[in-house]
A and B are shown apart, each in its own frame.
Chain A
Amino acid sequence: MTEIMTPTCIEMKNVHKAFGSKVVLDGFDLEIKKGESVVIIGGSGSGKSVSLKSILGLLTPDSGDITIDGKSVLSMSGSAREKLNNRVGMLFQNAALFDSLNVWENVSFALMEGEKLPRKKAKEIAIEKLSLVGLSPEVANMSPAELSGGMRKRVGLARAIAHEPDIIFFDEPTTGLDPIMGHVIDDLITHCVKTLGASALTITHDMASARRIADRVTMLYQGKNIWTGPVDQLDDSGNPYVHQFINGLAEGPIELDISR
């Protein structure tokens, strides 16, 4: 029973978040152990990105608690948060590359600003990270505006892992990529978790990808987790919502607001 011994890395307890009258998170719970890869699935607009941003401190929950390594991050001071962020890597859903910087400056941003690496060394590392996500060195000097959507996503991914963080968040890492590249990225994520020992939280709509990278899967529906379990129990979860979602069935308990 080694699993019980593994310390918790991130924990969200009973988190609520509403925008105006729109309730997005309504008692959301999540636990990620050290070195574990957890995937959140759920419908579009269900609040997956909001839950990630709450952990990162970009949004403040209305109530509930979020801890990282046992310390509450909601009451954390700005400088403590900055220190914590040195260990964190985040891929935004839209990549959020800095368009005033070129590709390699984006990738090595944390290395140059945080670890004060000289530019020459930082560029070498950036090119190496770009090759991990299947981008050639020529891309390094391009500006983000010159890239395709999938390339931007991969640059964002390279930036998220460049400083070798031990907590990684990926918001739809394989969306917009072709299936082969998607597979390469999945392997990279698995490599980060298995080889580098990072804890990872990934949002994805790509069920094939979820099966490859997840240790555990949790499903978000109407602000709560309606099912959480090991990835190999995904198919016989016994939960009709999960069953409908992972098989993409039009018929089932999940109702989309597209009638009328």
Chain B
Amino acid sequence: MEESIKLHYIVPGDDFTRAGAASGDVKRTLKELGVSPAVIRNVSIAMYEGEINMVIHANGGEIDVEITGEDIIMTLRDEGPGIENVELAMKEGYSTAPDNIRTLGFGAGMGLPNIKKYTDEFSIDTELGVGTTLNLRVHIQ
């Protein structure tokens, strides 16, 4: 790949019918580019978990994806409530999802741990009352 491909998505808050649209589109794009199924799977899982967290916990946000010859770089930015204790939020099983969200199948507290597990680089910038940004990178090789 000579030049990098840049994709931008707006994720609406509280709209489950469209949640997963951005991840689905990135998945299709990577498939067309001939990226390996294992890498596509890692990117799909990480991005979907981030996307759905924006919908559930942060009233939506924006996602930028850059695909270079070496990496897939994802930046997920929201202006939601922020995360009070990141270490706790990263624990498997920790979730503040309300009951009405849990009945939809969310709230296992596995989203952020999944994101960490399926990416090569992962960082969270978050500030209470300001928002949360996830910086994710998956190597193509």
| A and B: interacting chains | no
